[in-house]
Amino acid sequence: MRMSLRPYLGLLTILAFLLLFVGCSKSPLSPEQPAGQEQAFSAGPGAANAGLLSATAKVVTGTVNGLLGGVIRNGDWTVKIPAGSFSGIGLVSVTVPDPSVRSCELGIFPSLLNSFRVPVTLSCRLQSADEVRDFTMQWWDPSTQTWKVIPCVNDGTTMSSDAPLPHFSTYRCGKAGW
């Protein structure tokens, strides 16, 4: 009796595609990742918005069941997706276009999942008491081409800035007014 793989080809193709995007050497779910982002800023999201990434860009993706939630990490950035944030399974990406600029681009595929029932929390690791005191989270508003300060909580105990997000977009962490 011969067994055919034909019914499984679609599933195998999807798994192969996901493996291309999900790295095994450094899990985004690991408890510790080295800090590596400086405090410099660019005026806007720059080349990454044009669809180009620098040679130093780092992209971390993970598959998340919105009913169960999950956590994705990329350097100083952590996205905490609580259970019930969305219905379905999404491929979540955290892109750091340039490690010398403290910003990230968050995405989810399919894009119809990019409106959350329960806010997702974006956290940026802070590196000093001055950052805890002075830094805020900001969102890139593509309609006005400006950075907008968003509500966040800075915590000196966890050394992080945490912001609840209604959707994924481009964000940065730094002093307001930059």
pLDDT in tens, 77-89: 999 999 999 999 9
Average pLDDT, the chain: 79
What's the CA gap between 138 and 3, in Å, rounded?
55
Report the DSSP beta bridge partners of residue 155.
160
Residue 16, token pair as written in the block: 């192969």
Report yes or no on whether pTM surpasses 0.85. no
41 or 134, greater pLDDT: 134
The ranges assigned to domains in the chain are: 27-175
Amino acid 91 reads L
Q: pLDDT tier at 62 (50, 70, 90 boundaries)?
A: very high
Angle at 15 between CA 11 and CA 21, to 5 degrees: 150
Residue 87, token pair as written in the block: 């219905």
Contact at 8 Å (CB) between 45 and 103?
A: yes
CATH 2.60.220.30 fits 27-175, yes or no: yes
What's the CA gap between 90 and 96, in Å, rounded?
19
Residue 130, token pair as written in the block: 């001055």
Contact at 8 Å (CB) between 53 and 97?
A: yes
Q: pLDDT tier at 56 (50, 70, 90 boundaries)?
A: confident
When pLDDT is averaged across residues 54-68 and rounded to a whole number, the result is 91
Amino acid 156 reads G
Contact at 8 Å (CB) between 94 and 74?
A: yes
pLDDT at residue 99, rounded to an integer? 81
pLDDT at residue 164, rounded to an integer? 98
When pLDDT is averaged across residues 120-129 and rounded to a whole number, the result is 96
What's the CA gap between 140 and 144, in Å, rounded?
9
